[in-house]
Amino acid sequence: MRILIIVHQFYPEYSGGTEKVTFGLAKLAQKAGHFVRVLTCVTGELNSDTWEQGCSEYLWDTTYQGIPVSAIRSADIDASAEYSLGHDVPLVGQISQLLELENYDVCHVMHAMRMASAIQAVQNCNIPYILSLTDFYLPCYRINYIRQEGNLCGGSQGGVNCGTKCLLPDWRPAFFLDRYSMAQKIVELAQYVVCPSEYVAALYSQEFPDAKFKVVAHGIDLSLCRIRENDHKVDEIVFGYLGSIGPVKGLEILIEAFQQVVGDNLRLNICGGFVNDDGYEKTIRNLVSLDERVNLLPAVNPREVFDVLQTFDLLCIPSVVPETFSLVFHEAMAAQVPAMVSALGAPQYHIETYQCGSVVPAGDRRAWTVALETVAERPELLASWRDELPLPLRIEEEAFIYQTLYLQSTSQTSVVD
């Protein structure tokens, strides 16, 4: 098969969860003998040493670790593409040229941000596509289902709530009604719509009640998995955070809560890169400087994730927005590291189902302090949680499921329920 994967951003410019999943699926599809190209958007400057002009004016080509990549530049599209699902007619035409030139059998849309023109081109060329929902971007331009005032959204109601609860000064309510209609079309025309968790599927079912959703968890590359070789009887308890550092991750809540817990044998190791928010970075660095037990470490290469996880006794995920899946949460399960998570999203469901960690109210510093104190005073909890950790889906299993869906999409059949 000839497969085009559409994603809003990709390596090496970005290295978040969606990019990691996209890369893994592309590599495994290649290994299975398929031709795969990634179509994405580059938000920074293109390096002339690695990029060259593609088949049309607005497309640029490169290769990343053996994967052919084509990109549009954000500078060449309207800034509204960050939040709008409208398409650019000339760009649709140029992307259509690529689709016809390379004769794709199926497309896999991993994320629609900045890529609405690409999706429109796929629809115009009558190429079947799979849609993966890695976050809430389609019904929520803010992506995270958090309203402007900071509380959890109860749903867009066809764009009506967006136009009243999250209206910006220069916008009109009608914009959100149109945006919802465009999102609905993207969902309804997909051959399969896939969610990474039951949590995401439930929320999307409320937004698009006529659509059918499949749940396929993101797979973990267990070939990289490392498990601590000792018996976990440690004189020191290491709480760990691993991931990007930005306001939605709630890291300041974790640090301030940890600082209230007494114990020279306690450590908080923070591993990750800062998002583009200088004010928040300054806040975190100032907090870290107040407690010598808190260590701020560099961002982690994807191949080193398990090496870092095996240094943790407990993974902490203090997010203040719903987590749709959390790759690092599942990687920690594979490494036999339990987690303490906010009571938002898919990780909460997992922990409550398997009793393999702790769930804490999101944004509640006092509750996080109590939860950390409980582990410090009763370290035997860690062993009991480890015993209940389920083994996550392997990336090879996820790739096999998707390749089955690709084949079924091209034949217009629906064998897998």
How many CB atoms sit inside 10 A of residue 291's CB?
14
Hey, do 2-219+395-411 and 222-387 end up sharing a CATH topology, with the first three levels equal? yes
Residue 100 has pLDDT above 70, yes or no: yes
pLDDT tens per residue across span 244-276? 999 999 999 999 999 999 999 999 999 998 987
Measure the CA angle with vertex 125, ends 110 and 415; round to 5°. 60
**Rg, Å, the chain Cα set:** 22
What pLDDT does 251 receive?
Answer: 97
Which pTM does this prediction carry?
A: 0.92
Compute the distance between CA of residue 332 and CA of residue 323 in angstroms, rounded to an integer. 15
Res 279: pLDDT: 93
Cβ atoms < 10 Å from Cβ of 250:
22
222-387 domain in CATH 3.40.50.2000?
yes
Asked if residues 147 and 176 have their Cβ atoms less than 8 Å apart, the reply is no
Is 413 a residue whose pLDDT tops 70?
A: no
Mean pLDDT of the chain: 94
What pLDDT is recorded for position 15? Answer: 85
Between CA 151 and CA 402, with CA 139 as vertex, the angle to 5 degrees is 120
User: What per-residue confidence (pLDDT) applies to 143?
Assistant: 94
pLDDT digits (tens, 9 = 90+) for 147-204: 988 888 989 999 999 999 998 888 899 999 999 999 999 999 999 999 999 999 999 9
The pLDDT tens digits of the residues spanning 293-316 come to: 999 999 888 889 999 999 999 999
- Angle, helices 346-354 vs 327-334, to 10°: value is 30
- Give the residue-averaged pLDDT of 49-54: 93
pLDDT tens track for 357-399: 999 999 999 999 999 999 999 999 999 999 999 999 999 999 9
pLDDT given for residue 303 in this prediction:
86
pLDDT digits (tens, 9 = 90+) for 313-330: 999 999 999 999 999 999
Classify each residue of 218-246 as buried b or exposed e, where b means 16 or more C-beta atoms within 10 Å of its C-beta. Answer: bbbbbebbbebeeeeeeeebbbbbbbbbb
Name, in order, each residue with C-beta under 8 angstroms of 249's C-beta and a sequence gap of 6 or more: 243, 318, 319, 320
C-alpha to C-alpha distance for 113 and 96, rounded to whole angstroms: 18
* In the chain, domain spans: 2-219+395-411, 222-387
User: CATH assignment of 2-219+395-411?
Assistant: 3.40.50.2000
Structure token pair of residue 75: 């500078």
- pLDDT at residue 412, rounded to an integer: 65
